[in-house]
């Protein structure tokens, strides 16, 4: 069994001396470097590079620079995925996001872990556990999600949380480690008085048309 196969099976594996994994990491990190150093206004070039890194990018995917991942092919995005600056995904195994996921700045999703045993850890061994995020999930800034976590639909993870256990659907969680605060519905009702209502689909349509228009103008002016 290869080191890559061991990682997929959740077994201890060593990524430090495996030629296949080393080359794959270098390839993706070079592409991430290229992506992060592309002009932010050059959407077409950014998306072209992103599609070389990730397999599920579409016209509703927006990841602000900088962005870093390990392999790229283990990451799966749903529709309307947005991540603010400095997203880090250590995708040593599957990281799956549902539709309408919103991620604040400086967030990390870490599938990689290391043995507690000192000799095993010092030898370079690690393990990988998948992360799954449902639909309509919002992460505040500086959130860390640890290996093996599943976050249910319609949940909110508060700023600065460290999520080491799975979160059911429809809950607001926060803290270190993250813990239950209240139901999302109750929080929405509590905030409703101060929350403006938008025609979201029309907003998205107009926003993307405006962005495309700006990009076209910039390209013609260069």
Predicted structure pTM score? 0.85
User: What is the tally of structural domains in the chain?
Assistant: 1
Does residue 8 belong to any structural domain of this protein? yes
Does residue 23 belong to any structural domain of this protein? yes
Q: Can you give the length of the chain in residues?
A: 222
pLDDT of residue 187: 83
- Collapsing DSSP to helix, strand or coil, 68 comes out as strand
Does residue 191 belong to any structural domain of this protein? no
pLDDT of residue 186: 86
220 is annotated as an active-site residue? no
The CATH number that applies at residue 122 is 2.160.10.10
Does residue 206 belong to any structural domain of this protein? no
Over residues 64-115, the pLDDT tens digits come to 999 999 999 999 999 999 999 999 999 999 999 999 999 999 999 999 999 9
Does residue 122 belong to any structural domain of this protein? yes
Over residues 136-185, the pLDDT tens digits come to 999 999 999 999 999 999 999 999 999 999 999 999 999 999 999 999 98
Crossing angle (nearest 10°) for helices 200-221 and 43-53: 110
Q: Which of 85, 114, 179, 220 is catalytic?
A: 114
| Containing structural domain, residue 79 | 3-183
Does residue 212 belong to any structural domain of this protein? no
Range list of H helices, the chain: 3-8, 19-36, 43-53, 118-122, 184-191, 200-221
């Amino acid at each position: 069994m290869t080191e890559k196969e061991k990682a997929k099976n959740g077994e201890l594996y060593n990524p430090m001396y495996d030629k296949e994994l080393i080359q794959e990491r270098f390839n993706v990190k070079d592409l991430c470097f290229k992506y992060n150093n592309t002009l932010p206004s050059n959407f077409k070039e950014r998306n072209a590079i992103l599609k070389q890194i990730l397999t599920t990018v579409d016209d509703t995917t927006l990841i602000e620079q900088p962005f870093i991942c390990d392999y790229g092919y283990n990451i799966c995005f749903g529709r309307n995925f947005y991540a603010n600056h400095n997203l880090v995904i250590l995708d040593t195994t599957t990281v799956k996001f549902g539709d309408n996921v919103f991620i604040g700045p400086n967030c990390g999703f870490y599938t990689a872990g290391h043995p507690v045993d000192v000799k095993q850890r010092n030898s370079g061994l690690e393990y990988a556990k998948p992360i799954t995020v449902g639909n309509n999930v919002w992460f505040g800034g500086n959130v860390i999600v640890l290996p093996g976590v599943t976050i249910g639909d319609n949940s909110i993870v508060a700023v600065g949380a460290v999520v080491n256990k799975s979160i059911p659907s429809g809950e607001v969680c926060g803290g270190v480690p993250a813990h239950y605060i209240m139901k999302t519905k109750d929080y929405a009702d509590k905030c409703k008085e101060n929350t403006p209502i938008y025609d979201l689909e029309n907003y998205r349509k107009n926003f993307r048309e405006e962005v495309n228009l700006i990009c076209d103008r910039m390209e013609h002016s260069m």
